[in-house]
Amino acid sequence: MARINDNFLKLKAGYLFPEIGRRVGAFTQANPDKAASLIKCGIGDVTEALPEAVREAMHKAVDELGNRDTFRGYGPEQGYDFLREAIADNCYVNLNISADDIFISDGSKCDSGNILDIFGQDNKIAITDPVYPVYVDTNVMIGNTGDADENGRYEGLVYLPCTAENNFVPAIPDEKVDIIYLCYPNNPSGASATREQLAAWVNYAKANDAIILYDAAYEAFIQDPDVPRSIYEIEGAHDCALEFRSFSKNGGFTGVRCGYITIPDSVTGASASGERISIKQLWSRRTSTKFNGASYPVQRGAEAIFSEAGKKQVAELVAHYMGNAKLLREACSEIGLNVFGGENAPYVWVACPEGLTSWDMFDKMLEEANVVITPGSGFGAAGEGYFRISAFNSRENVIEVCTRLKNHL
Ligand code: MLT
């Protein structure tokens, strides 16, 4: 008899975004006349074309593979040096991060789930609420939790509520945890964390011998020069934090797939016997066994993001999406809704009108305005009463969404 991993049976319903897709599919099937005018602002998937510099680099790389003399087979599992160096030189200027601290992957979603391979099963894990659902579900899958309660909160996880009162940056817990997931700029609330707030978390992690898993997938959208782009801008973070980054949202790589984890030498965890073990060595070992590297044309495309032309094109993409975020914020404010985020992140987080739950709001927007949003409760119990609008769309669609919001709310 082949036994399954029973932990999967603890998972609640479907993963949020396929579940939204299922509901939208049922709606369009029942209302085929509305399918053409449906506007999707649910999942944070980019809509604009891949930058020209990236496409050129990828074409060139494919041509290299088409010639026996320049053909490449398996690449280094941890990523090609050309990309690791470009990242170290461009993303970590004066932050004491070197190319060999950087591990290239096929995206941050995979990285944030896969990282659990190298941690033990008796860690106390803290996650924010609301949160990117991958952090929770992957902990459930690997057996780090008990069952969920009626609010969908899993036994064994420490939930850190993020509310309007704390500007969606959680208070430092009064108990000791071993691993903390933080994501800033935040998905889903669009909030950003100040230097002081991150410093408090780094100090907590160092004092408690904990590790911070810092998801910086949205750093390119930071507009305020005082908001830290990397956890390594904070003193002490090199001893206690891993950083996840992605080319998905800045470079339009949601379909192309490329991301990376940064792990400085000095981050360590304890073995069962108490010996200090380098996290970087473990991740490198895990990567060599389970991964054969992101594809060569993709890594060349990612490298091109750091060329002069690439930087300019990415800046234009970011400006486009942040222009959308501004319009969405203004439209929601104009109709009297309480709006958060959207200033340093491509997500606008909105309090539902009085008396409507997150899923009520999802249904109302779908059925009346023909717009897909994401219900806040899909990100956790503390997301109830909110909805998220993604700014990843064409300008034309965003202007139309603003009009529909005003007409239907
Ligand atoms: C989101 O909408 O939260 C993101 O697109 C999910 C992701 O990046 O995987």
| 182, 214 Cβ separation under 8 angstroms | yes
Ligand 1 contact, 229 CB (< 6 A): no
CB of 388 within 6 A of ligand 1: the answer is: no
Question: Dihedral (C-alpha) 381, 216, 113, 317: value to the nearest 10 degrees?
Answer: 100
Query: What is the residue extent of each domain of the chain?
Result: 13-49+309-408, 55-307
Residue type, 199: A
With the CA atoms of 310, 194, 191 and 356 taken in that order, what torsion angle do they form, in degrees rounded to the nearest 10?
Answer: 180
Determine the distance separating the centroid of ligand 1 and the alpha carbon of 356, expressed in angstroms: 24
Residue carrying structure tokens 């969920």 = 148
Point out the ligand 1 atom lying closest to the alpha carbon of residue 42.
2
> Which of 230, 108, 183 lies closest to 380 in space, CA to CA?
183
- Say yes or no: CB of residue 153 within 6 Å of ligand 1: no
As its CATH architecture, domain 55-307 has 3-Layer(aba) Sandwich (3.40)
**Residue showing tokens 């941050």:** 108
CATH domain 13-49+309-408 topology:
Aspartate Aminotransferase, domain 1 (3.90.1150)
Q: Which two tokens stand for residue 1?
A: 């008899």
Judge whether 13-49+309-408 and 55-307 match in fold: no
The verdict on the CB of residue 44 being under 6 Å from ligand 1 is yes
Q: Does the reported pTM lie above 0.75? A: yes
Structure letter (DSSP) for residue 7: G
Number of helices (H), then strands (E), belonging to the chain: the values are 11, 15
Task: Decide whether any atom of ligand 1 lies within 6 Å of the 110 Cβ.
Answer: no
Structure tokens belonging to residue 362:
């999802």
Q: Which atom of ligand 1 is nearest to the CA of 249?
A: 8
DSSP 196-265: HHHHHHHHHHHHTT-EEEEE-TTGGG---TTS-SSGGGSTTGGGTEEEEEESTTTS--TTT--EEEE--T
> pLDDT for 267-301, tens place per residue?
999 999 999 999 999 999 999 999 999 999 999 99
The one-digit pLDDT tens for each residue of the chain (409 residues) are: 999 999 999 998 667 888 888 889 999 999 999 989 999 999 999 999 999 999 999 999 999 999 999 999 999 999 999 999 999 999 999 999 999 999 999 999 999 999 999 999 899 999 999 999 999 999 999 999 999 998 889 999 999 999 999 999 999 999 999 999 999 999 999 999 999 999 999 999 999 999 999 999 999 999 999 999 999 999 999 999 999 999 999 999 999 999 999 999 999 999 999 999 999 999 999 999 999 999 999 999 999 999 999 999 999 999 999 999 999 999 999 999 999 999 999 999 999 999 999 999 999 999 999 999 999 999 999 999 999 999 999 999 999 999 999 998 8
Please state, in angstroms and rounded to a whole number, the distance separating the CA atoms of residues 338 and 349.
Answer: 9
Gap from CA of 43 to ligand 1 centroid (Å): 6
Name the closest-CA residue to atom 5, ligand 1.
Answer: 44
| Ligand 1 touching residue 43 (CB < 6 A) | yes
Exposed, middle or buried by CB within 10 Å (0-12, 13-18, 19+), for 208? middle
How much distance in Å is there from the Cα of 93 to the middle of ligand 1?
A: 27
